[in-house]
Amino acid sequence: MKAVILDAATLGDDIDLTPLHEAVDTLEVHAHTAREERQARLAGATVALTNKVVIDAELIDALPDLELICVLATGTNNIDMQAAKARGIEVRNVTAYGTASVAQHTLMLMLALANRLPLYMRDVAAGRWNDSPMFCLLDHRTLQLAGKHLVIVGHGELGRAVAHLAEAFGMRVTFAARPGNEAHDSRPALASLAGELDVLSLHCPLNDETRHLVDADMLARFKPGALLLNCARGGIIDESAALDALRNGTLGGLGVDSLPDEPPREGHALIDALQEGHNLIVTPHSAWISPEARANVVRLTVDNLRHWLASRA
C-alpha cells in the first residue's frame, strides 16, 4: 500500500515520522506540493496525507487508486467531501491535538495585552525608560485579570481549557451560546454579554453563523478597554472594524493568531498597523505549533491509518 504526504513541512523537521512509515508499506514524503504537482505525486497512491494541500473533485477523479485521505489537521475545507464520498473515499482528520498549545498561546496573548506589553516594549526600545523622571513608566493603563469577566465563544475542549487557565488567574468565565443556535442554547447570547465582558476569546469554527460574528455593531457594545482575542479562524472578526476600534481607543487590545488569507501574500491591514503603536499582537498561525502538538498530529494520524486498515481486514 502506497501512501504519500504532500506537505510534510507543515509538521516541522523536528518531528519523527517513523510511526507513519511503519504504518504503511511505502510512504513518500514531500515537504511541499504545488497544485500542478499533486496528480503526479499521488498517482498509484492508496492513501493521501495532507494538511493544507487541496484535494478537489478534479484531482479525485484522476486518482482511481485513492481510498483514504488523512488530513493532518482538524479542518477539512481543503477536501471536496462530496466528491470523496461519491467515490467511496474515506476522509479522516485529527482533533484535539493542540489543545494545551493553543490554550497556552491564548493566555499569552491575554496576559501580554492586559499588561500592555507591546506598548511598553516599544517605549523601552525607544529609550523612554532611560529618560523617565522616576523609576518606572506609567503611561499605559494595565488590566489586572483577577476578578475580570472573560467571555468565550466555543464550548469545546479548547474553550474549556482556556477557561480552566483563566480561572487560575481569578477570572470569572462565561460561555456564550453557539452562534446560530441561540434560541435552543441555554447559554446567553454574545450580544447580551458584550457590554459587560472585559475579555472576549474566540474558539469556534468559521461558518455562515460565525463569519464577522464580531463586527462594528458588536464592538460598539463593548465596554471601553475590553480585549479581543482570536485564536480560531480569520474572518470570525471583522478585522477592519476591530482595527478601527483599536485606533479610536474603544478597544483596549487586539490579539489574533489567524487572518482570512494565509499566508497573507498581499499583506493585511493588521500587519501594517503593527508599526502604529497600538496594543496589538499578530502571530503567524503559530498557536498550535508546540512540538508536543505536532507529534500528536502524527500519533493521531497513525491511529486513523490503523483503524482504517482494521476496518478493511
Positive or negative, the Cα torsion across 111, 232, 255, 294?
positive
Is 140 among the catalytic positions? no
Q: Is the preceding omega at residue 133 within 30 degrees of 0, hence cis?
A: no
Residue 270 phi/psi, 5-degree rounding, is -70, -35
Instruction: Please list the residues that pair with 29 across neighbouring strands.
Output: 5
Is residue 262 flagged as an active site residue? yes
290: burial class by Cβ within 10 Å (0-12, 13-18, 19+)?
middle
Query: What are the E-state strand segments in the chain?
Result: 2-5, 26-29, 47-50, 68-71, 90-92, 149-153, 172-175, 199-202, 226-230, 251-256, 280-282
**8 A C-beta contact, residue 283 and residue 256:** yes
Exactly one of 178, 233, 268, 278 is catalytic; name it.
Answer: 233
Q: Residue written as cell 446560530?
A: 180
172 is catalytic: no
Catalytic member of 172, 187, 285, 299: 285
Pick the catalytic residue: 37, 262, 276, 292?
262
* Burial bucket for residue 115 (CB in 10 Å: 0-12, 13-18, 19+): middle
How far is 146 from 166, CA to CA, in rounded Å? 9
Angle in degrees, 0-180, between the axes of helices 291-312 and 99-114, rounded to the nearest 10: 150
User: Which residues belong to the active site?
Assistant: 233, 262, 285
